[in-house]
């Protein structure tokens, strides 16, 4: 049987179409095509391993368990499974299975490691390396150890992060396929009559990010920068980078705690913990006044711990994104446009954020629909603005820069994690409270700043604040005019 025929039969037997919920049913054939394209291009020995795994499963094995077995064999698909494992649009059974990918039981043994890496670890003076790995992820294995810190009495605990044996080769093979996958999906969109989204650029950006997974020097740099950024946040723990690190090994202090979604707390304390997660990973970097703000780009539950004193420990800084000051200014402008029902202000900010320019009429249609939501009682906050950008990308084909796409991906992942900690946590409430605290801290410097300066962490000038205060009569008029237009359109639809 030809490999492409075997792959098609395998994918159809897995019933992977169930992965996409009903609202996205039109994309199910595209998902099947994309997965077949990926598997067909794997080396035959790797495809044979995947097929063998499936044949060894019992006949009554659920589709969720079969999908899990497939994803675990491919590091890029493993990473994808981690990203979507908390997405509440997926069925409960599948989410439960995918959450196993956040931190899988280790199967790597010390003697499985390349000889040079193993010898490097064994030759470090004063290190007592455990024979049993602590955990595994998509590309790395975590090895616990103890060492004697000369500045403190007693032994201290740390972990080495090293690559899983053979993972670099597998990752390279898969990323080469991803380089072709975007163009294929765009072609199949036309075949299935789907909107021709910018899959090529999106997958290329993801591909570039996944390449960072094997570059430990970059992770170590990110870890040191994160430690500096959160140095004064008493509710956040960043693992301390240890001097035993190299380009093949990252050595960190071991952080005690539980996966943040598994922690045993009462409802009130879970709500506070959820707020701390949004505060640390979204609000803090967003309301930073620096020209470039860094954010954790892979915040799945396996990378977030709750310490015994209920602080948030943020682990694995391999993937880090950056938001420029001008981008954060424009994101705030969208919210201000929503508050004042100012369509022109929103369209201008969206256009500046875009990597490509949208069709003007389609853009205004999306913005008008979003403002209609505001008039119907939706809070024009941060969450609303992100949904607006999602809608614009889907309906206009507008492309956004890689870092904005990464920020949105991280936010979606984190929102699913937070929902599993406390269902009543609100991103908008956390962002508003954090923004108000930032505003109170910058009041003295506002007294000395030029009126049009946006050099503050809130990204709004004094002039814009005065305009906001003075715009309420115009906003009220826009609200009532829009309200009557909405009513007339509804009446016409009923009569028609």
Residue by residue, DSSP assigns 42-53 as S-HHHHHHHHHH
C-alpha dist (Å) from residue 461 to 445, 452, 466, 468:
12, 5, 9, 11
Domain 104-165+215-254: assigned CATH number: 3.30.200.20
455 contacts 307 by C-beta, under 8 angstroms? no
Q: Rounded distance, CA 496 to CA 474, Å?
A: 33
Question: What pLDDT is recorded for position 495?
Answer: 60
Cβ burial of 439 (10 Å; 0-12, 13-18, 19+) is middle
**Residues of the chain above pLDDT 90, percent:** 50
Q: Which residue has the higher pLDDT, 314 or 196?
A: 314
Q: Tokens 């938001």 map to which residue? A: 323
Q: Rounded distance, CA 96 to CA 430, Å?
A: 27
| Whether the predicted model's global pTM rises above the 0.85 cut | yes
329 contacts 320 by C-beta, under 8 angstroms? no
CA dihedral of residues 391, 395, 401, 405 (deg, nearest 10): 40
Q: Tokens 């237009």 map to which residue? A: 485
Q: Is the pLDDT of residue 424 over 50?
A: yes
249 contacts 161 by C-beta, under 8 angstroms? yes
Question: What pLDDT is recorded for position 72?
Answer: 86
The DSSP code for 154 is: S
18 contacts 46 by C-beta, under 8 angstroms? no
Question: What pLDDT is recorded for position 474?
Answer: 62
The DSSP code for 247 is: S
β-pairing, 236-237 with 312-314? Answer: parallel
Question: What pLDDT is recorded for position 473?
Answer: 65
Tens digit of pLDDT for each residue in 253-291? 999 999 999 999 999 999 999 999 999 999 999 999 999
Question: What pLDDT is recorded for position 480?
Answer: 60
Token pair of 229, please?
């950024």
Domain borders along the chain are 3-102+181-211, 104-165+215-254, 324-495
Question: What pLDDT is recorded for position 1?
Answer: 41
Question: What pLDDT is recorded for position 109?
Answer: 83
Report the range of poorest mean pLDDT among 135-149, 194-208, 274-288.
Answer: 194-208
Read off the pLDDT of each residue in 394-412 and give the average, rounded to a whole number.
89
Question: What pLDDT is recorded for position 152?
Answer: 61
């Amino acid at each position: 049987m030809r490999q492409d025929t075997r792959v098609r039969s395998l994918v159809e037997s897995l019933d992977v179409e169930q992965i996409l919920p009903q609202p996205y049913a039109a994309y199910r054939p595209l998902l099947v095509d994309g997965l077949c394209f990926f598997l067909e291009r794997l080396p035959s020995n790797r495809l044979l391993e995947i097929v063998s795994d499936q044949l060894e499963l019992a006949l009554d094995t659920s589709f969720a368990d079969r999908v899990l077995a497939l994803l675990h064999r491919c590091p890029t698909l493993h990473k994808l499974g981690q990203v979507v494992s908390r997405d509440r649009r997926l069925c409960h059974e599948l989410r439960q299975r995918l959450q196993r990918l956040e931190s899988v039981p280790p199967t790597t043994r010390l003697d499985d490691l390349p000889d040079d890496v193993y010898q490097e670890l064994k030759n470090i003076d004063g290190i007592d390396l455990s024979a049993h790995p602590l955990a595994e992820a998509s590309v790395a294995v975590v090895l616990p150890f103890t060492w004697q810190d000369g500045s403190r009495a007693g032994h201290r605990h740390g972990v080495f992060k090293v690559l899983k044996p053979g993972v670099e080769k597998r990752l390279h093979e898969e990323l080469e396929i991803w380089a072709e996958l975007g163009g294929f999906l765009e072609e199949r969109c036309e075949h299935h009559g789907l909107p021709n989204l910018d899959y090529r650029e999106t997958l290329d950006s993801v591909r570039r990010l996944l390449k960072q997974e094997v570059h430990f020097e970059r992770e170590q740099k990110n870890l040191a920068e994160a430690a500096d950024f959160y140095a004064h946040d008493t509710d956040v723990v960043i693992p301390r980078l240890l001097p035993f690190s190299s380009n093949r090994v990252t050595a960190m202090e071991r952080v005690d705690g539980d996966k943040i979604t598994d922690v045993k707390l009462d409802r009130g304390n879970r709500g506070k913990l959820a707020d701390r997660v949004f505060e640390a990973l979204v609000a803090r970097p967003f309301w930073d006044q620096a020209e470039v703000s860094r954010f954790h780009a892979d915040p799945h539950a396996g990378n977030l711990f709750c310490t015994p004193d209920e602080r948030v420990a943020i682990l694995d800084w391999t993937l880090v994104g950056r938001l420029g000051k001008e981008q954060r200014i424009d994101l705030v402008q969208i919210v201000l446009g929503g508050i004042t029902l100012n369509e022109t202000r929103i369209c201008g900010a969206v256009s500046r954020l875009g990597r490509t320019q949208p069709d003007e009429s389609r853009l205004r249609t999306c913005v008008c629909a979003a403002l209609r939501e505001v008039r119907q009682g939706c809070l024009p906050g941060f969450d609303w603005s992100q949904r607006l950008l999602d809608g614009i990308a889907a309906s206009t084909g507008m492309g956004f820069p890689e870092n904005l796409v990464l920020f949105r991906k991280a936010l979606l992942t984190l929102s699913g994690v937070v929902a599993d900690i406390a269902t009543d946590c609100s991103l908008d409430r956390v962002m508003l409270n954090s923004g108000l605290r930032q505003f109170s801290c910058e009041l003295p410097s506002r007294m000395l700043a030029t009126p049009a300066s946006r050099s503050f962490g809130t990204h709004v000038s004094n002039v814009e604040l005065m305009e906001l205060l003075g715009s309420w009569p115009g906003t009220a008029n826009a609200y009532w005019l829009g309200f009557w237009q909405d009513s007339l359109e509804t009446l016409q639809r009923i009569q028609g």
